[in-house]
């Protein structure tokens, strides 16, 4: 008797700098087939040659760039899910504008979304031989005509990155159905089981004497006491004072530093130096210890916030993560260029922390 299992083929796009594998681990534990890609071109190449059910991407990473999203959307017509916490609704709105409609801040939200995603390939559990059959039950998914014409060639470095990333997958399925079919033909039998081997319970047996156990117990107790005492007494390891500045953003999104529509030369050539700011409003009431806001000005502008210079990207974009004091906060931005133009913007916000 065969029982159908809702197993999805998932491609997860995230930058190498992001070491958070939580989503992939949870998906694999749920039985889904996950391929992680960190390099841009292999990712787009695989999307062209493979038919995943779902694409995940981390909007804070390089894949959050508008151009990348456009390319993902062009090469893939299934659901694209932005994973992780998005620090601001404006970013969500920008992503939605780019065609991303599903957001999963947590693994449970992701699993809930995936329950409603139809699979293109059904894996049948076969009780008789304890193997998993690989049967395509749907035709090749509808795709735009670009698939047939747009063949990206992988460089050697890209191919290496691709192979490294895919080889890291435990018993990952073939990247494409073609490969799967070829593999089946070559082996002359069904694909091997895709289930991960279950680990039995184990115990570490070491030749321990009584004083060993006593010492281990004492060390454990001391560690617990220290761990409890540090937060309550404000102790710091090595007694070194560490600066604890509140942040509103975990990392600065590339989506904001490389805006889709930077200011044009005409906009920069007026009488006043443009200084456009989003994410903060005058007279805002903020129940956080920090506020993040961003904007555009000239790429060569000298920008300060309350006297502190701010980095402006080559697109003229900037992101400011401003720690707030409890109560009144006066925020003043000044942008100047060497042509002698200066623009001033100020905000008064109250933080209720």
Partner 1 sequence: MNSATAITRTISIKLLVLIGAATLALVIFSSGDYVAEAKAERIAIFGTAMDAPHDGILLVATRSGVINLTITSDTVINSKKGYITLSQVQSGSQVVGYFYEESDQQIAAKLAFKKRNAKSNQKHLIGVVVEKKGKKLTIQTTDGEEVEVEVSESPTDDPTTEGSLVVSVVEENEDTGALDALGLRTAEETIARLNEAIDHEITLAQAKLLKVRMSETASVHLTRLYATLDEIQAEAEEKIQAAYQQFETNYTTTLDENLISPPLVTISGKVLTKEAGLIVIAKNGNGRRSYVVVSSDVEVELVDGSSGTFLDVLRDGYVEVLALPQTAISSPVAKLIKMIPSPPSPGNSGNSNGNNQTITGTIVLVANGNSNTNPVIVIDNQGGPDGAAEITPDTVITGGDALEPGQEVEVTLGDDGFSADGVEVVSQDDQPTDPIVTPGPPPQYTLIGKVREVSVAGVILDDVFLTIIDTSPTTDPLTVGQEIQFTVEVDEDGRFVIVGID
Q: Does 66 bind partner 1 (CB under 8 A)?
A: yes
Report how far residue 44's alpha carbon sits from residue 62's, in angstroms, rounded to the nearest whole number.
Answer: 13
Stretch that binds partner 1, among 115-123, 128-136, 242-250, 302-310 (CB under 8 A): 302-310
Q: Residue 327, exposed/middle/buried by CB under 10 A (0-12, 13-18, 19+)?
A: exposed
Min separation Cβ 336 and partner 1, Å: 4
- Per CB under 8 A, the list member of 2, 5, 99, 136 interacting with partner 1 is 99
Report how far residue 15's alpha carbon sits from residue 130's, in angstroms, rounded to the nearest whole number.
Answer: 37
Do the Cβ atoms of 147 and 50 come closer than 8 Å?
no
Q: How far is CA 324 from CA 243, 276, 279, 290, in A?
A: 15, 21, 15, 5
Do the Cβ atoms of 82 and 102 come closer than 8 Å?
yes
Q: Does 241 bind partner 1 (CB under 8 A)?
A: no
Min separation Cβ 344 and partner 1, Å: 8
102-104 sheet: strands from edge to edge: 33-37, 9-13, 54-57, 80-83, 102-104
Site string for partner 1, 192-211 (x = CB under 8 A): ------------------x-
- Per CB under 8 A, the list member of 30, 122, 125, 315 interacting with partner 1 is 315
Q: Does 285 bind partner 1 (CB under 8 A)?
A: yes
Six-digit token pair at 99? 């065609």
Report how far residue 272's alpha carbon sits from residue 180's, in angstroms, rounded to the nearest whole number.
Answer: 61
Q: Does 213 bind partner 1 (CB under 8 A)?
A: yes
Site string for partner 1, 128-167 (x = CB under 8 A): ----------------xxx--xx-x---------------
Residues that bind partner 1 (CB under 8 A): 65-71, 73-74, 96-100, 144-146, 149-150, 152, 210, 213-214, 217, 221, 224-225, 228, 232, 261-262, 264-265, 268, 282-283, 285, 298-300, 302, 304, 306-309, 314-315, 325-328, 330, 332, 334, 336-340, 342, 344, 346, 348, 350, 352
């Amino acid at each position: 008797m065969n029982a159908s299992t809702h197993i999805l083929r998932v491609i997860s796009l995230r930058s190498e700098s992001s070491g958070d594998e939580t989503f992939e681990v949870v998906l694999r534990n749920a039985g889904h087939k996950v391929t992680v890609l960190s390099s841009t071109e292999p990712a787009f190449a695989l999307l062209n040659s493979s038919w995943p059910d779902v694409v995940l991407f981390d909007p804070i990473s390089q894949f959050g760039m508008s151009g990348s999203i456009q390319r993902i959307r062009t090469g893939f017509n299934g659901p694209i899910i932005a994973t992780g916490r998005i620090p601001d609704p404006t970013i969500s709105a920008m992503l939605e504008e780019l065609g991303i409609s599903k957001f999963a801040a947590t693994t449970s939200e992701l699993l809930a979304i995936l329950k409603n995603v139809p699979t293109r390939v059904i894996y049948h559990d076969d009780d008789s031989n304890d193997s998993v059959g690989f049967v395509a039950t749907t035709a090749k998914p509808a795709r735009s005509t670009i698939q047939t014409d747009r063949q990206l060639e992988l460089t050697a470095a890209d191919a290496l990155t691709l192979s490294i990333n895919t080889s890291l997958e435990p018993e990952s399925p073939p990247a494409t159905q073609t490969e799967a079919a070829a593999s089946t033909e070559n082996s002359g039998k069904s694909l091997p089981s895709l289930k991960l081997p279950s680990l039995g319970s184990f115990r570490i047996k070491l030749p321990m004497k009584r004083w060993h156990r006593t010492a281990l117990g004492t060390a454990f107790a001391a560690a617990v006491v220290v761990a409890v005492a540090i937060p309550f007494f404000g102790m710091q390891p090595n007694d070194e004072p560490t600066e604890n500045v509140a942040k509103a953003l975990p990392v600065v999104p590339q989506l904001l530093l490389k805006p889709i529509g930077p200011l044009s030369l005409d906009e920069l050539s007026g009488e006043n130096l443009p200084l456009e700011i989003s994410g903060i409003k005058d007279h805002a009431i903020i129940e956080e210890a920090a506020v993040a806001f961003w904007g555009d000005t000239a790429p060569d502008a000298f920008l300060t916030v309350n006297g502190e210079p701010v980095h402006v990207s080559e697109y003229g974009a900037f992101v400011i993560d401003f720690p707030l004091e409890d109560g009144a906060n006066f925020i003043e931005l000044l942008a100047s260029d060497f042509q002698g133009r200066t623009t001033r913007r100020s905000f008064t916000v109250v933080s209720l922390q």
